[in-house]
Chains A and B, each alone.
Chain A
Amino acid sequence: MKRPPTDPEAQASRIPRRALVLGLGQMGVAGLLGWRMRQMQVEQAEEFRLLAEENRINMRLIAPGRGLIFDRNGIPLAENAQNYRIVIVREEAGDVDAALDKLRRLIFVDAAEMERARREISRRSSFVPVTITDQRSWEDVAKVAINAPALPGITPDVGLTRNYPLGQDYAHVVGYVGPVSDYDLGRMEDDDPLLQIPKFQIGKTGVEQKYEQSLRGKAGSRQIEVNAAGRVMRELGRDPGVPGTDLQLTVESRLQNFVEARLALGLSASAVVMDVNNGDLLAVGNAPSFDPNKFVRGISVADYGELTGNKYRPLGNKAVQGAYPPGSTFKMMVTLAALEAGLLSPSETIYCGGYQRLGNRRFHCWKRGGHGHVNLEKSLQQSCDVFYYELAQRVGIDRIARTARQFGHGQRFDLPMSAVTAGVMPDRAWIRETYDQSWRVGDSLNASIGQGYVLSSPLQLAVMTARIASGRRVMPRLVRAAGGMEIDIEGGEALEIEPRHLDLVRQGMFAVSNSNRGTAYRSRIDNAGLRMAGKTGTSQVRSTVVDNAEVPWEERDHALFVGYAPYEAPRYAVSVVVEHGGGGSSAAAPVARDLMLFALHGQLPPLDNYPAGERAEVEEMFAGLDLRDDFRPTRIGRSRA
């Protein structure tokens, strides 16, 4: 293909010429596209409209059944109940107001509910079914169904909704679900189409939130053909989806119920009961509590205001979120740090004259008159502060912190509950980073009696106690099995502490509860096989010593108690914090004993486990407890309704 060479000028002019050809070609294609658009959208528009209206093949999502939650014995804690709803499709209803008026003449619909539905109807596309009202009775559904011809676009519908049969017992642990909100959608990196379903329920707190992904399951879908009236003509295909995974928790519902009821006798308290051998959390209690079922459909503003305005914080899971000065319950950590460092011998005594002088400051013992000569056992038994001021100076904060961290202080446990706190276990590095200050000896003295910067949660105190009792690094566990698969028990390796040092501390804790000068002697267990070892704590909220009877609730001391039993063969560890309850021996220790005895017996304990003088009082207290008796054990993995 030889062509005679043309002159450069002609060649150069080829770009404009060819570009013009190209431009014309492109215009032609664009014209074709425009013509096609006109053909489809103008000439055949009616035809396509008809196709669109008459023969819509569309996908409808099938919401999978949410995974159920059981306690360790298969008692359901969260289940799915039938929920009868009345829904409306705007484009089928025609005159929405007229249709809603007709509906209101037929069944009662709350005015606020109706208002919410109207807003929802105007926001959603015209073909999306909007729930007008839900949780209806069967009669209401029947009335609507019978009158269907007179109620265009309005149909009864049945769905599943979450129900918490044990109500407030598990409000904090299991948490609750609620309708997905725009805020949730914006916050979550989750494009699961299920979230687009109006009022779809997702976990908001607790296990429900932390296990949202496995509990939710996977959406199924139906491919259906619908006609102009929106009636489903036929189903073309169906993918049932995957139901959510069932969970079994480690908690024991009778004990949990007792814990909640027992704590509710006080104003604001929390407690943890834990298995010292495998770390299973048997009960995580908080008082006051609330009914999580109220949140499922979206709680009313008034109810919510009441919960958030309550100064005893019913919404908080204080057992894992609350960070309190551990007070004297921290003294075991200081003892162990001193023993491990070789700076304390078991028989050594330190003189307590009621205070310790540091520079020109005096650090007082709680007992103004002093304890006299105090050895290790007596220091725990009578909770002498001066003994620990002395140890703190010998050992230093860094070594105390290292030991305490081995027992769980300052550590955030990875449990599926909301806002689990790490507390604070201060040391020199910590105060430099946090406050840009250097650590002073006075800070160590405060820390040695669990005051100052040290903060721990009831959960951490229970873990500490379980580790002292077992000598092993027990890890708390809340979920026992997911989808029928047992979850591994973590931890359990031996602590890096001399076993004989642990024994010395255990003996001290035994003396606290069982020798007649011990701070918790009044709250001892009077059953030789089940005796408890423990430690009281009273932690100041204000920097000066106050008389609890004379100051308002907010300024009173926190009362704490930690303990384990039976002393000879430990099974359970318990921690109790009564917020602003006063003294640990008077406010927290009796509660802890009740929880421990219930855990050991699996039911209300026999009165002869209590010292003779107290039995009448205990009996009266038991009679006043608001306990439930309607536990419905179910086999795990039963078929869903």
Chain B
Amino acid sequence: MTHPDTDPRHGPHGPAKVLHLNWPLILLLTAVAAAGFLMLYSVAGGTLDRWAEPQMERFALGLAVMFCVAMVPIGVWRGLSTPAYLVSVALLVGVEVAGTTGMGAQRWIDLGIVRLQPSELTKITLAMVLAAYYHWLDPRKVSRPLWVIPPLILIAIPTALVLDQPDLGTALLLVMGGGVVMFVAGVSWWYFGAVAAGAAALVSAVFSSRGTPWQLLKDYQYRRIDTFLDPASDPLGAGYHITQSKIALGSGGWTGRGFMQGTQSRLNFLPEKHTDFIFTTLAEEFGFVGGVSLLAAYMGIVVFCLVSAVRNRNRFGALLTVGVGTTFFLFFAVNMAMVMGLAPVVGVPLPLVSYGGSAMLVLMAAFGLVQSAHIHRPRTR
């Protein structure tokens, strides 16, 4: 179907597009990434070349990728949504077959230059394919049961594959991210009520299955949930991380101990101090003020995405922007909740701050899509 208001001829052309980029958003992304460089420098004991420098190089590469993605008209990306989704699902199947094992779970495909984590990619391609689906679908039909089934299948396939890896954190992010796109697309409240009820049932099933032959989660995942519910039960084993993380974070106080002065995070109690637990170091060294500032910067990015989506009358662009913004939101919210003891340890990095190449590049590419939707939004004269 054609929308009279998606005609791109009214939008900016060629190099003029650069002026129409959402520059405040870029500034915020850079600020958050810079906080990451600072913390990576600090946890490496004051050396650049261990983590901070490679991270800077990746961010620079990420910015370039973002600009390139942004320059391509959003319609092209819509056309690519389905192939991109299929490729990412194929890659997920690929890691099942050929992936090398990192940290005990099959998650990587080694491409030589970078180790690609297909589950990262899927978070974005799922948002793309759902947005394209609702762009194509007549808005009056969104809540009809027959038309609710395809997106559910689209979400279920990668989720099942990711769960099989097993990566519970990413599986939850996929479900929540996909659900939010459906929600914003206008699917009736009733469905979400039903899903909530179903989830409650599932949770009880997960717990009651424990110890039985048809146990639904891996033992270590149960232990993480136990630890989450009562970290003190095992202070040297699985609860060690979360107890130490809370002590470090809490001892930061109002303004923190000062840059490079954190004691707790420097005692090497966290093996992932430069990845999943990096927020601990930031909160210890810069305190409440630092932690809230980072949170505010993150929320700024999310709000920019929402505002951009609301003002965009191209359904694909708007839904995709919401999807990317939400995925980003879920990343940092789950990570922060995790290190503050509000959520179980599920292995979700702090976006743009944690050390890691493939997550950073995928996120920057996703913001490229947001920028593309922003530049190429329909303009009325």
When distances are taken between beta carbons in the complex, the residues of chain A under 8 Å from B246 are 40, 48
Q: Distance in Å from the Cβ of B300 to the closest Cβ of chain A? A: 11
**Contact between A47 and B184, CB atoms less than 8 A apart:** no
What sequence of 0s and 1s flags, for each residue 319-340 of chain B, a beta carbon within 8 Å of any chain A beta carbon?
Answer: 1001000100100010011001
- Interface size on B, as a range, is 35 or more
Kindly provide the distance from the CB of B286 to the nearest chain A CB, expressed in whole angstroms. 10
Shortest CB distance A605–B (Å): 56
Contacts of A22 in B (CB 8 A): 180, 183-184, 306, 322, 326
Q: Which residue of B lies closest to A21 (CB)?
A: B183
The segment from A12-20, A130-138, A365-373, A421-429 that touches chain B is A12-20
**Shortest Cβ gap from A402 to chain B (Å):** 39
With an 8 A cutoff between CB atoms, is B288 at the interface?
Answer: yes
Interface residues of A in 29-61 (CB under 8 A from B): 29-30, 32-34, 36-38, 40-42, 44-45, 47-49, 51-52, 56-59
Contact residues in A for B358 (Cβ distance below 8 Å): none
The interface residues of chain A lying within 8 Å CB-to-CB of B249 are 37, 40-41, 48
Cβ of A125 within 8 Å of any chain B Cβ, yes or no, is: yes
With A5-B140, A6-B140 already in contact, the answer to whether A52 and B248 are too (CB < 8 A) is: yes
1/0 per residue, CB under 8 A from A, across B196-240: the answer is: 000000000000000000000000000000000000000110001
Which residues of chain B are within 8 angstroms of A27 by Cβ–Cβ distance?
A: 299
Residue A613 interfacial (CB < 8 Å): no
Of the candidates A6, A40, A126, which one forms a contact with B250 in the assembled complex, judged by CB atoms under 8 Å apart? A40
B302 CB–A CB distance under 8 Å: yes
Q: A309 within 8 Å of B by Cβ?
A: no
Is B151 in contact with chain A by the CB < 8 A criterion?
Answer: no
The residue among B47, B139, B246, B315 with the most chain A CB atoms within 10 A of its own CB is B139
Determine whether B354 belongs to the interface, using a CB cutoff of 8 Å to chain A: no
Judge if B12 is at the interface, Cβ distance under 8 Å.
no
Q: Counting CB contacts under 8 A, is A300 at the interface? A: no
> Across the two chains, which residue of chain B brings its CB closest to A12?
B139
Interface flag for B283 (CB, 8 Å): yes
- Judging by beta carbons under 8 Å apart, are A41 and B253 in contact? yes
In the assembled complex, which residues on chain B have CB atoms less than 8 Å from the CB atom of A5?
140
B372 within 8 A of A: no
Q: Which residues of A sit under 8 angstroms from B142, Cβ to Cβ?
A: 11
- The verdict on A507 contacting chain B, using a C-beta distance below 8 Å, is no
For residue A552, CB closer than 8 A to chain B, the reply is no
Distance (whole angstroms) from the CB of B69 to the closest CB of chain A: 22
When A18-B186, A58-B267, A58-B269 are in contact, do A48 and B143 touch as well, CB less than 8 Å?
no
Q: C-beta contact mask, B280-324 vs A, less than 8 Å → 1, else 0?
A: 000100011001100100110011001001100101001100100
Give residues of chain B (222-279) contacting chain A, Cβ–Cβ below 8 Å: 235-236, 240, 244, 246-254, 260-261, 263-264, 266-269
Q: Is there a chain A Cβ closer than 8 Å to B45's Cβ?
A: yes
Chain B CB count within 10 A is highest, among A6, A14, A15, A125, for A15
A22 to B187, CA, bound (A): 13
Measured CB to CB, the nearest residue on chain A to B50 is: A191
Set A29, A41, A48, A57: member contacting B269, Cβ < 8 A: A57
A51 — which chain B residues lie within 8 A by C-beta? 247, 250-251
Interface centre among B248, B251, B264, B310 (most CB of A within 10 A): B251
Nearest Cβ on chain A to B305's Cβ, whole angstroms: 10
List residues of B (337-353) whose CB comes within 8 Å of A's CBs.
Answer: 337, 340, 342
Q: How far is the CB of A564 from chain B (nearest CB, A)?
A: 51
Q: Within 8 Å CB of A47, what residues of B?
A: 250
Q: Closest residue to B49 on the A side, CB-wise? A: A186
- Decide: A11 and B140 in contact? CB cutoff 8 A: yes
Which residues of the other chain, B, contact A57 by a CB distance below 8 angstroms? 235-236, 240, 244, 269
Partner of A11, one of B50, B139, B191, B340: B139
Which residue from B244, B295, B315, B337 sits with its C-beta under 8 Å from A15?
B315
How many Å lie between the Cα of A182 and that of B295 in the bound state?
35
Task: Tell me the complex Cα distance, A56–B247, Å.
Answer: 9
Residue of A nearest to B310 (CB): A16
Q: Judge whether A440 is part of the interface by a CB distance below 8 angstroms.
A: no
A15 to B184, CA, bound (A): 6
Q: Any chain B CB within 8 A of the CB of A624? A: no
Q: Determine if B4 is an interface residue (Cβ-Cβ < 8 Å).
A: no
Residue from A5, A26, A38, A191 whose CB has the most chain B CB atoms within 10 Å? A26
CB distance from B173 to the nearest CB of A (A): 14
Cα distance A237–B236 in the bound complex, in angstroms: 9
A57 to B268, CA, bound (A): 10
Nearest-Cβ distance from residue B237 to partner chain A, whole angstroms: 11
| Chain B residues positioned under 8 Å from A236 (CB to CB) | 236
Closest B residue to A16 using CB positions: B310
Tell me the complex Cα distance, A531–B309, Å: 96
Whether B288 contacts A33 by the Cβ 8 Å rule is no
Task: Judge whether B295 and A37 touch: CB under 8 Å.
Answer: yes
Q: Which residues of B have CB within 8 Å of A1?
A: 143, 145, 188, 190-191
Q: Which residues of A contact B49 (CB under 8 A)?
A: 186
Contact status A44-B318, CB under 8 Å: no
In the bound assembly, the distance between CA atoms of A178 and B254 in angstroms comes to 43
* Chain A nearest CB, measured from B66 CB (Å): 22
Return the chain B residue nearest A2 by Cβ: B144
* Interchain CA distance A191-B271 in the complex, whole Å: 13
Q: B322–A125 contact, CB under 8 A?
A: no
Answer yes or no: A305 CB below 8 A from chain B CBs.
no
A19-B322, A52-B247 are known contacts. Are A26 and B302 too (CB-CB below 8 A)? yes
Chain A to chain B contacts (Cβ below 8 Å), 11 pairs: A1-B143, A19-B309, A19-B322, A22-B180, A26-B326, A37-B295, A45-B252, A48-B250, A52-B248, A126-B261, A191-B50
Q: A37-B291, A41-B249, A52-B248 are in contact. List 14 more A-B contacts (CB 8 A).
A: A1-B190, A11-B186, A12-B139, A22-B180, A22-B306, A26-B333, A40-B246, A41-B250, A41-B254, A42-B288, A49-B250, A49-B253, A58-B269, A186-B49
Identify the 7 closest CB pairs spanning chains A and B, nearest first. A48-B250, A11-B139, A52-B251, A41-B288, A58-B267, A14-B186, A45-B253
